[in-house]
Amino acid sequence: MKAIRLHEIGGPQNLRIDDIERPAPPANEVLVRIQAAAFNRRDVFITQGLYPNIQLPRTLGSDGAGVLEATGEEVVIDPMLGWGDDPDVWRTDATILGMPRDGTFAQYVSVPKANVYPKPRALTMEEAAAIPLAGLTAYRATFTRGELGPDETILIPGIGGGVQTFVLLFAKAVGARAIVTSGDNEKLERAKALGADVTINYRETPDWQKTLKRGEVDVVVDSSGGDTLAKATSALRPGGRIVIYGGTRPESTLRLFPIFWNHIDIRGTSMGSPSDFAAMLKMFDGDLRPAIDRVYAMDEAVSAAERMAKSDQFGKIVLRIA
Ligand SMILES: NC(=O)c1ccc[n+]([C@@H]2O[C@H](COP(=O)([O-])OP(=O)(O)OC[C@H]3O[C@@H](n4cnc5c(N)ncnc54)[C@H](OP(=O)(O)O)[C@@H]3O)[C@@H](O)[C@H]2O)c1
């Protein structure tokens, strides 16, 4: 079968198509014939050596949708492996599909039976492939950890991020008010089309927090790090929540006084439990569709990964697997 593999650290240009053996699933696993896959920042970080426990050569890819080889059923894959029994926190030995084990950028992948779910009927294969990792992370950050309610306002910094786009979709789906920032006006326009109520360019307005009313934000969901949270806290209401699922800029300059004085909760989150995944898929039973940036062919994987490395995308970068 054809698989997009990384043999050596050094960046997205090191991805190449190999001909390898089809995996033979053990008794508790199933073989999925992948029809579409999608990129996450994680795949690019792995090519750059910026990820723990990298083992090479490996087939990358956490997101995938396709058909069960044995039955023909259309499925989407939950990339969270071994979450464990506690819905509040994952097991410390939990892993994510696509490193250290082989992932979805291949014509076939073997995954545990428990990790395949029926594809939401309304979605195409490409749309279904776009949702697993980012949708799961966003669902848990927004609802399970963020506890966003329909009458609340959420602040979503860096709307160009794959997960953030889902946070916006989910927030609007439940009727919440959404304030988004981006360094790119085109991305802000696209966010407006998805329902963003307030859009702010953090490059043109470095003190963007001053354009918000003190206390008008109930929840911030962030992965951008740096000075974002220090700024965001001035707009958070007393008793508000901060949810963090990533650190694109890994250090944060959070000021402590507004946190303790205003009884702010800071909550970490990563990926999500099986029940988060099932609840996330249900969000797509109706009219909701993921935002797709571009769809690339399998032999264009390097260009696709380079687009993500430059953060040029809005929404998910999808790979058609044939
Ligand atoms: N813990 C988990 O389970 C989990 C899951 C998924 C991702 N992550 C992590 O979360 C982070 C984002 O991943 P992703 O794939 O969703 O996004 P991404 O595609 O890597 O996008 C990162 C975004 O960060 C935004 N950004 C950069 N500088 C910013 C700034 N100064 N202020 C505000 N925003 C800024 C940019 O938004 P604009 O282009 O709009 O300016 C950019 O598009 C990564 O660090 C990733 O590793 C963690």
228 lines ligand 1 (CB under 6 A): yes
Summarised one tens digit per residue, pLDDT across range 117-169 is 999 999 999 999 999 999 999 999 999 999 999 999 999 999 998 999 999 99
SS3 258: helix
311 lines ligand 1 (CB under 6 A): yes
Q: Mean pLDDT across the stretch 199-210? A: 98
62-71, 74-83, 166-175, 310-319: least confidently modelled range: 310-319
Atom number of ligand 1 nearest to Cα 187? 40
Using alpha carbons only, how large is the chain's radius of gyration in Å? 19
Q: Mind giving me the DSSP string for 7-72?
A: -S-S-GGGEEEEE-PPP---TTEEEEEEEEEE--HHHHHHHTT-STT--SSEE--SEEEEEETTT-
What is the 5 CA–ligand 1 centroid distance (Å)? 24
In this prediction the pTM is 0.97
163 lines ligand 1 (CB under 6 A): yes
Query: Residue 161 has what pLDDT?
Result: 87
Top pLDDT among 47 and 161 is at 47
125 with 140, same domain: the answer is no
153 lines ligand 1 (CB under 6 A): no
146 with 241, same domain: the answer is yes
6 with 127, same domain: the answer is yes
158 lines ligand 1 (CB under 6 A): yes
Instruction: Give the closest residue (by CA) to ligand 1 atom 1.
Output: 270
160 with 254, same domain: the answer is yes
Atom number of ligand 1 nearest to Cα 41? 15
Q: Are 195 and 201 within 8 A, CB to CB?
A: no
Distance from C-alpha of 85 to C-alpha of 268, rounded to nearest angstrom = 19
192-200: long-range pairs with CB below 8 Å, 24+:
194/165, 194/168, 194/169, 194/291, 195/168, 195/169, 196/156, 196/159, 196/168, 196/172, 199/159
246 lines ligand 1 (CB under 6 A): yes
In this structure, what CATH number is given to the domain that contains residue 175?
A: 3.40.50.720
Q: Which domain holds residue 83?
A: 2-131+290-320
State how many domains the chain has.
Answer: 2
144 with 261, same domain: the answer is yes
What is the 223 CA–ligand 1 centroid distance (Å)? 5
Q: Are 95 and 82 within 8 A, CB to CB?
A: yes
245 lines ligand 1 (CB under 6 A): yes
What is the 161 CA–ligand 1 centroid distance (Å)? 4
126 with 146, same domain: the answer is no
Domain membership flag for residue 279: no
Asked whether residue 223 carries a pLDDT value surpassing 90, the answer given is: yes
What is the 31 CA–ligand 1 centroid distance (Å)? 32
Summarised one tens digit per residue, pLDDT across range 272-317 is 999 999 999 999 999 999 999 999 999 999 999 999 999 889 999 9
SS3 74: strand
Domain membership flag for residue 283: no
249 with 236, same domain: the answer is yes
194 with 313, same domain: the answer is no
Q: What is the mean pLDDT of the chain?
A: 97
Query: Residue 274 has what pLDDT?
Result: 98
